[in-house]
Amino acid sequence: GAVVSQHPSRVICKSGTSVKIECRSLDFQATTMFWYRQFPKQSLMLMATSNEGSKATYEQGVEKDKFLINHASLTLSTLTVTSAHPEDSSFYICSARDWGATGELFFGEGSRLTVL
């Protein structure tokens, strides 16, 4: 079945640095990808919709300058957490829909960010 890959799966960084998380659709093209954030023992919060070749659409309350999203190709979207702070520590998950086959939404394995 379709696979969505995220990298890195775990990252630890110092406060003030920027971290990039990649989301790739491995065997299908995704014009749209979604980025979610999951706090401990909580649900997934949709952060933004990543659109290939255009600007991402951010959900209310999500800082677009803090969470930069780039969707430069049909198989890759990146989330960059800029000037990270400890409160940005979280589990970030991306998803993409395989319209070419089943139309199902597939999720990456997630990336755990820890900001020291």
Q: Which one, 10 or 85, has the nearer CB to other proteins?
A: 10
As a whole number of angstroms, the distance between CA 56 and CA 21 comes to 15
Among 12, 27, 104, 116, binds other proteins (CB under 8 A): 104
By CB under 8 A, is residue 68 in contact with other proteins?
Answer: no
Among 19, 28, 81, 108, binds other proteins (CB under 8 A): 108
| Residue 10 bridge partners (DSSP) | 112
Among 18, 42, 73, 83, binds other proteins (CB under 8 A): 42
Among 20, 22, 49, 70, binds other proteins (CB under 8 A): 49
Q: Tell me the CA distances in angstroms from 13 to 30, 82, 103, 105, 112, one per residue in order.
A: 29, 11, 36, 30, 11
Among 44, 68, 74, 76, binds other proteins (CB under 8 A): 44
3-state secondary structure 44-87: EEEEEEEECCCCCEECCCCCCCCEEEEEEECCEEEEEECCCCHH
Footprint of other proteins (CB under 8 A)? 4, 6, 32, 34, 42-44, 46, 49, 57, 91, 93, 95, 97, 104-110, 112
